[in-house]
Structures are given as C-alpha cells and as structure tokens.
Amino acid sequence: MNISQPAFPPLPPDLIAQFAAIVGERQALTAETDVAPYVTEERNLFHGRSPLVLRPGSTAEVAAICKLASQHRIALVPQGGNTGLVGGQTPHNGEVVVSLKRMDRIREVDTASNTMIAEAGVVLQVAQQKAAEVDRLFPLSLGAEGSCTIGGNLSTNAGGTAALAYGVAREMALGVEVVLADGRVLNALSKLKKDNTGYDLRNLFIGAEGTLGIITAASLKLFPKPRAIETAFVGLKSPEDALKLLAIAQREAAGSLTSFELIAAIALDFSIRNAAGNRAPLSGAHPWFVLMELSSSRDDARATLETILEQGLEDGIVDDAAMADSLAQRMAFWKLREDISAAQKPEGGSIKHDISVPVAAVPAFIAEANAAVVKLMPGARPVPFGHLGDGNIHYNVSQPIGAETADYLARWHEVNAVVFEIVLRMGGSISAEHGIGVLKRDELPDVKDPTAIALMRAIKAQFDPLGIMNPGKVL
C-alpha cells in the first residue's frame, strides 16, 4: 500500500553529511540494501522510501538530529522495532528515518518505588526479563514482544493480553523523556505516582505516534511478580456464553484475572493448520473458545480457576475445558493464540480491524459485523478474536477461498465502512491498540468529535509548527 503526501525537498549531500556527523558514518545508512529493512514492514502492506536512516545512540544525538532537521525543514519518521500495523513507522514520502534501536539501555531499576527507566530502543521482552530478575513484573505483553520496543509501545499506546488487569501502555508509564521538533529535550522522567503540577504533558506524547516529538526514554511501573499462574483453554457455544463466563471469573478471581481471550473456531483452525507445532487444545469441536489466565501472589490460583470452570459447567456455559498442567502446556496454549495473526497469511488477503466496543456489546457486534461483511462480500471469512475482558476485538476478515488477493484488498475501505458503522453505533472505537498511522487516518475525521480533531490539530501545530515530525500520520 503506497501513501502519497506532498513531498519534502530532496536531501542534499551536504545535509546527509551533517546528519552523519551527528551519529557517526557507520550509523548513517544510505545504501539501498541497508535502508530496505526500514522502509517496509513485516506484513509487506506498506512500502516507503528514504534517502537516509539515522541510528542515534543517545538522547543528545536525537536532539541534534531534530535541531538540524528543524533548521532545514527535513521531515523525520521515528521508528522502534518496525512492528507497527498501521503504517505509522514507514517513511512514505522520502523522509529521514530515525531508528531508536541503538538506544537500548535500562538506565535504572528501583525496587523501592517499583519503577524502571528504559530507553526507547529497549525490546519489550528485555524489559520483562529485567523486571523478573529483581522479582518484579512488567506486565505489558504483545505477540511482537521479542522485537517491538518500549518507545514504539508508548508511541502507539499498545494494549496486549494483560490490559484487563494492568491497563494499556499509557497506564504503565509514570514519565517520559521526549525530544521536541526543534531539538529541545523534555525531561519528564518522573517516578512519582502523585504529581499535580499542571498539565500532564506525558500523556500528549503517549499514543501520538511520533507526531509531536520523539520518545527517547520512559519511567515504567513495575508490579509484584505473581507466585502462581494458572491457565485454561475453554470450549463454549457462543460469545454470549463467553461473556457469562467472564462475569463468573471476575466475581471469583477479582483482581487475579489477568487475561480473558475470545477466539472464534476459524481463528483457532487457522492457527493449528498454518503454524508449526500447534495442536488442538480440546478433544472435540467447539464454535468458540476462551483462553483464560489467573495470576496470584498466593497459592490459591488453581483452586480459583477450578471453581470458575465448575460453575461454568454447572450453568451450561462451559462445554469442555483443559487446564495447563505444566509450563510447556501453558506456553502451547498461548502459542495457539499468538500465532493467529501470522496464520491468516496463508489464507490469502486479510482486511484487519482493531476495534473496541463496550464489553457487553461484543456478542452483538460480532453477530452484526459477520452478517454485514458476508452480505457485502459473499464468501468472506470473518476471523474475530481478542481481548473480551476489555472489549477489544481484532475483527479480521479473510478473503473468500479462491478470490484474487489484490482485488479483495482493493475493497479494504469498503469493508472498513461497514464494520466501523456498527462500531460507532455501539459507542466503540475504530482503533483500540494499534494506533491510527496512515491506515485509519482518512477515517478519523468521520468518527472523531470535530472539536477533538480541531484541538489535535492545534496541539500538532504548537509542538511541530514546521510539520516535520512523522508527517501525514494520524492527522
């Protein structure tokens, strides 16, 4: 997918040399083969171009890059692990890429205040491991956690499988360090849980997708490490039954219910058929599944999970269930869930939606959306799955069997319109955790309050008057 915007002037050789002098020749990439990994993304949906990729190693270098870019009106695209799904990290029109991967230090771990200061290029899995080393938990967990970075997680306000208990990325950050468009550095790396000294500037940058400034570090919340984790894969008849099971789980487990994933049978079938090593978790066929996990500081998690499942069986909600009896089985359960996205690729084109609706409306949304999509495009295969506990459903639609992929994907926005109409009517959001980028940019004015759009534009103009920070994204 190519996105056209008004192009910025070409980058003169003397400016390339000035940028290279900031980061060092080895960290300024201009050769086409070196630049290639930074101008496309893993789904191969977006293709960009860039004359220069800069790999700074410090906040000072990022500040110098922004200052020079501002002086010469050179557009910049910040990039973390390049795992984004909406084209926000792609240089669509020849912008300079600023890759934060080299900024990968854990500056501090403070167990007394339960905080960690991590630079933007720290891989999420590394942050999780560093927390575990001091008997703490950093609970943000995503399918791409082995390659996505803290800066990208915050810039997109990532969600993940533990948002039910711990919230999204914004709720896991106490403070940020940000380089502004003109090169000034905002040092807001607070470790305080209480600070009422004016506007909360931190939250302007979290979720802004690099359009207001470049996040270079963050002060992250840590939590007590669970002593017991119990996981179950459950087969049931419908999303309505899954909602009833969620109510039982929340009543019995309270705050120890950390994940509650809803999975349609077709999604699980794709994962088993198209991902190596995956096996059916239950012996029989079921229309719907739930992957549920409890995490507790006490040793009562297994008994609590058994109580939830027994109640579900008594109420006729649960048809079958398997509890993980080992770490290997738990990881196998989660692999089934995490492989769903990649497992759709062999099925052909997939039109993806990252939506949220009120939790109680999830069953009705799925039913209405399925009917509307199939009516629009007979043979289309809806593949809904996601975080039922917080109302966030990845509503993907695989192409009809035998269809031409290019023809199918050409109807992306047509399918969007059908799905988004239902989402908005139910009081939901068209972007729950992946961001806006360019994929949903043109739809945003139609679904966002006009006053909110006007305020967003005013904030953008104040922080980035030259329009050089990730131009063409979000707005």
- Residue 161: give its domain's CATH number: 3.30.465.10
Q: Is residue 298 part of a domain?
A: yes
Residue where a domain terminates, one of 208, 224, 240: 224
DSSP state of 275: S
With respect to residue 433, please indicate whether it lies within any of the assigned structural domains.
no
User: Residue 328's pLDDT is what?
Assistant: 96
Q: What residues have CB less than 8 Å from 102, skipping those under 6 apart?
A: 27, 55, 56, 57, 121
pLDDT beyond 80 at 42 = no
Q: How confident is the model at residue 8 (pLDDT cuts 50, 70, 90)?
A: low
Same domain, 193 and 299: no
Q: In this predicted model, what pLDDT tens digit does every residue of 369-412 receive, in sequence order?
A: 999 999 999 999 999 999 999 999 999 999 999 999 999 999 99
Task: Using alpha carbons only, give the angle 135, 139, 141 rounded to the nearest 5 degrees.
Answer: 130
| Average pLDDT score over the chain | 93
pLDDT at 439 over 60: yes
- 259 with 198, same domain: the answer is no
Q: What percent of the chain has pLDDT over 90?
A: 83
- pLDDT for residue 1: 54
Structural domain of 197: 106-224
Number of domains in the chain: 3
Dump pLDDT digits (tens) for 132-144.
999 999 999 988 8
Residue 83's pLDDT band (cuts 50, 70, 90): confident
pLDDT, position 298: 81
- Mean pLDDT of the 41-48 span: 82
Residue 359 CB coordination number (10 Å): 18
Interior/surface letters 82-108, b for 16+ CB within 10 angstroms, e for the rest? bbbbbbbbbbbbbbbbbbbbbbbebee
Strand order across the 213-221 sheet: 106-110, 115-119, 213-221, 173-180, 185-188
Cβ proximity of 39 and 193 under 8 Å: no
Residue 316: partners with Cβ closer than 8 Å, 6 or more residues away: none
| Whole-angstrom distance, CA of residue 239 vs CA of residue 312 | 14
pLDDT of residue 195: 86
Q: What percent of the chain has pLDDT over 70?
A: 98
Q: Does residue 5 have a pLDDT over 90?
A: no
Q: What is the pLDDT of residue 321?
A: 97
Q: Cα separation of 462 and 475, whole Å?
A: 14
Name residue 411's amino acid.
R
Q: Could you tell me if 68 and 209 lie in one domain?
A: no
> 174, 198, 224: which is the final residue of a domain?
224
Q: What is the pLDDT of residue 7?
A: 57
Same domain, 112 and 244: no
Please indicate, yes or no, whether the overall pTM of this predicted structure exceeds 0.95. no
Quote the pLDDT of residue 315.
Answer: 97
- Cβ atoms of 142 and 394 within 8 Å: the answer is no
Range 207-224 burial, b when 16+ CB lie within 10 A, else e: bbbbbbbbbbbbbbbbbe
Query: Integer distance in angstroms from the first to the last C-alpha of the chain?
Result: 18
pLDDT of residue 183: 98
User: 282 with 408, same domain?
Assistant: yes
Alpha carbon distance 467, 460 (integer Å): 8
Q: Is 434 exposed, middle or buried (0-12, 13-18, 19+ CB in 10 A)?
A: buried
Residues 253 and 388 placed together within one structural domain of the fold? yes
Burial category of 9 from C-beta neighbours within 10 Å (exposed 0-12, middle 13-18, buried 19 and up): exposed
Residue recorded with tokens 């990532």: 158
The model's confidence at residue 163, banded by pLDDT at 50, 70 and 90, is: confident
- Same domain? For 253 and 369 the reply is yes
Tokens of 3: 């996105």
What mean pLDDT comes out for the span 144-171?
91
Q: pLDDT by residue (tens digit) across 247-281?
A: 999 999 988 999 999 999 999 999 999 999 999 99
Average of pLDDT values for 318-343?
95
